[in-house]
Amino acid sequence: MAAAGSAVGLGNIWKFPYITGEYGGGAFVLVYLITVALVGFSVMLAEMLIGYLGRKDGVTSFETLAPTRKGLWKFGGFQGMAGLLIMTFYSVVIGWILNYIVTASISLPSSVHEAEVTFTTMLHSDFFTQFFYHTIAFVIVTYVLHKGIKSGIEKVNLILMPALIIILSVMFVYATTLDGFSKALTFMFAPDWSKLNSEAFVTAVGHAFFTLSLGMGAIMTYAASMEKGTNIVKSAFWVVFLDTAIAIVAGLMLFTFLYQYGSGPDKGPGLVFISLPAAFYEMGVLGNIFAVFFFIALAFAGLTSAVSLVEPMVQYFIDRFGWSRLKASISMGGFFWLVGIVVILSGLDGTKEYLTWGGKNFFDWIDYITAAIMLPFGGLIMAVFVGYILPKTEVQATMQPFLGWAFAPWYFSLRYIIPVAMFVVMLNLMGVF
6 binds ligand PHE (CB under 6 A): yes
Which residues is 357 bridged to in the sheet? 360
DSSP label at residue 25: S
Instruction: Using the rule CB under 6 A, give the single segment among 23-31, 213-221, 276-284, 392-400 that binds ligand PHE.
Output: 213-221
How many C-beta neighbours within 10 Å does residue 167 have?
18
Q: Is 212 exposed, middle or buried (0-12, 13-18, 19+ CB in 10 A)?
A: buried
Query: CA nearest 347: which of 136, 121, 14?
Result: 121
User: Closest approach of Cβ 69 to ligand PHE, in Å?
Assistant: 26
User: Closest approach of Cβ 186 to ligand PHE, in Å?
Assistant: 25
Distance CA 319, CA 379 (A): 23
Q: Which is nearer to ligand PHE, 27 or 212 (CB)?
A: 212
Q: Which of 99, 213, 260, 275 binds ligand PHE (CB under 6 A)?
A: 213
What DSSP line would sit under 347-409, residue for residue? TSTTTGGGGEETTEEHHHHHHHIIIIIIHHHHHHHHHHIIIIIS-HHHHHHHHHHHHGGGHHH
Binding-residue total with ligand PHE (CB under 6 A): 16
Q: Which is nearer to ligand PHE, 86 or 175 (CB)?
A: 86
211 binds ligand PHE (CB under 6 A): yes
User: Closest approach of Cβ 432 to ligand PHE, in Å?
Assistant: 27
Q: Is 162 exposed, middle or buried (0-12, 13-18, 19+ CB in 10 A)?
A: exposed
Sign of CA dihedral 44, 238, 8, 27: positive
How many C-beta neighbours within 10 Å does residue 137 have?
27
User: Closest approach of Cβ 320 to ligand PHE, in Å?
Assistant: 20
95 binds ligand PHE (CB under 6 A): no
Query: CA nearest 92: which of 348, 314, 316?
Result: 348
User: Closest approach of Cβ 314 to ligand PHE, in Å?
Assistant: 13
Q: Which of 12, 79, 203, 256 binds ligand PHE (CB under 6 A)?
A: 12
35 binds ligand PHE (CB under 6 A): no
User: Closest approach of Cβ 298 to ligand PHE, in Å?
Assistant: 10
User: Closest approach of Cβ 374 to ligand PHE, in Å?
Assistant: 10
Q: Which is nearer to ligand PHE, 14 or 411 (CB)?
A: 14
Q: Which of 83, 95, 206, 387 binds ligand PHE (CB under 6 A)?
A: 83
Q: Which is nearer to ligand PHE, 7 or 123 (CB)?
A: 7
9 binds ligand PHE (CB under 6 A): yes
99 binds ligand PHE (CB under 6 A): no
Q: Which is nearer to ligand PHE, 44 or 395 (CB)?
A: 44
Q: Which is nearer to ligand PHE, 287 or 379 (CB)?
A: 379
User: Closest approach of Cβ 66 to ligand PHE, in Å?
Assistant: 23
Query: CA nearest 240: which of 19, 48, 27, 54?
Result: 48
- Provide the residue count of the chain: 433
Residues in contact with ligand PHE, shown as a per-residue x/- string from 215 to 254 under the rule CB under 6 A: -x-x------------------------------------
Q: Which of 5, 11, 80, 180 binds ligand PHE (CB under 6 A)?
A: 11
Alpha helices by DSSP H, 23-69: 26-35, 41-54, 58-65
What DSSP line would sit under 120-173, residue for residue? HHHHHH-HHHHHHHHHHHHHHHHHHHHH-TTTTHHHHHHHHHHHHHHHHHHHHH
Reduced to 3 states (helix: H, G, I; strand: E, B; else coil), residue 35 is helix
Residues in contact with ligand PHE, shown as a per-residue x/- string from 285 to 324 under the rule CB under 6 A: --------------------x--xx---------------
Reduced to 3 states (helix: H, G, I; strand: E, B; else coil), residue 176 is helix
20 binds ligand PHE (CB under 6 A): no
Q: Is 34 exposed, middle or buried (0-12, 13-18, 19+ CB in 10 A)?
A: middle
Cα–Cα distances in angstroms (integers) from residue 399 to residues 218, 269, 278, 408, 418, in the given order: 20, 40, 48, 10, 18
Cα–Cα distances in angstroms (integers) from residue 199 to residues 87, 370, 428, in the given order: 22, 14, 8
User: Closest approach of Cβ 168 to ligand PHE, in Å?
Assistant: 15
Q: Which of 2, 3, 4, 7 binds ligand PHE (CB under 6 A)?
A: 7
Q: Which is nearer to ligand PHE, 78 or 407 (CB)?
A: 78
Q: Minimal CB distance to ligand PHE: which residue?
A: 11
271 binds ligand PHE (CB under 6 A): no
Q: Contact positions toward ligand PHE, by CB under 6 A?
A: 6-7, 9-12, 83, 86, 210-211, 213, 216, 218, 305, 308-309
